[in-house]
Amino acid sequence: MSTASKALNNTGRMGDETRERVKRVASEIGFRPNALARGLLSKRSFTIGLLTNDTYGRFTLPVMAGVSEALVDHGVSVFLCAIEDDPALGQIHVEAMLDKQVDGIIATGKRLDRRLPVDLSNLPVPVVYAFTEGTPNSVTFRSDDAQGARLAVEWLLKIGRRRILHVTGPMEFFSVRERAEAYSEVAGDAEPVMYGIWSESWGHDAIEEIWQRPGEKPDALFCGNDQIARGAVDALRERGIKVPQDVSVIGFDNWEIVAAQTRPPLTTVDMELKELGRQAGLTMLALAEGRPVEPGVRKLPCRLVVRQSCGGDKPGA
């Protein structure tokens, strides 16, 4: 019995041939270890709760893919609970997770500067925050929006653009202000940032507003998300302005369904949300195993995905 246990759990000293023979026989007879018994012995359930208010899944799904990728080889399953913006529903899901004895909870959302509408402090299990605001002294993962904005503007300058305009979302978003500040640091303050809403219609309206102004027109647009960028590209085409020959356009998010279907396909900044989720998952695993983890905010770098909307060759790795 002890030999079989060591072989199936990859523990103890044993010859490779013996270990493989035990696993082969176990597979042939359909044996599965008792997860409940395993949990009682290890005082772990090998499950993680993923809590989100991003019910559309735009940001949560890539984060979850990264979390699952990090944990699957360690025998850990992930339960997703969507709470919308309902505090009562959030509390119900948190209590259900605790009743199921999850090893920890990963909280994620749809913006960096808002907490989920449920109190996750002082829980009996560790909590990691990914793409949402964490509590003081928590472990939080977020994309480096300023670095991503610099990537975009520096690339436009590298391919010879000089009149770069930034069309973005609502100023009350922390990510909007951070990207706008980075844009101004690289491109200068000659052109004011244009704030609006997260929509294709705003990108379209922004082009109308820009081209109705007197004076020189931009030769490049850095947009706050891919939807704004797509609206801008459509509006430029309607005016007979060629992208990227006349105006280069870069978006932000690398939302494939939008970026790849834009004509021409959209160059954009990828926030690397899958990698962000993977790092959050590995950190949660460390906490569940009792290993020390320093609290604080971890910023993960973004990546520029070059397609056809701005011209130039692909950047180096």
What is the C-alpha end-to-end distance of the chain, expressed in Å? 51
Instruction: Decide if pLDDT at 92 tops 90.
Output: yes
Instruction: Decide if pLDDT at 312 tops 80.
Output: no
Q: What is the DSSP string of 108-147?
A: E-S-TT---SS--TT-SS-EEEESSPPPTT-EEEEE-HHH
| Tokens (6 digits) for 226 | 């891919």
Topology, domain 44-143+274-300: Rossmann fold (3.40.50)
* Mean pLDDT value across the chain: 91
pTM of the model: 0.84
- CATH among 3.40.50.2300, 3.30.9.10, 3.40.640.10, 3.40.50.10140 for 145-271: 3.40.50.2300
Ranges of CATH 3.40.50.2300 domains, the chain: 44-143+274-300, 145-271
Instruction: Name the amino acid, one letter, at 280.
Output: A
Instruction: Decide if pLDDT at 34 tops 60.
Output: no
- Read off the pLDDT band of 316 (50, 70, 90): very low
Q: How far apart are CA 125 and CA 51, in angstroms?
A: 14
Burial degree of 19 (CB within 10 A; 0-12, 13-18, 19+): middle
Residues 99-135: tens digit of each pLDDT: 999 999 999 999 999 999 999 999 999 999 999 999 9
Instruction: Decide if pLDDT at 8 tops 80.
Output: no
Averaged pLDDT for residues 67-94: 94
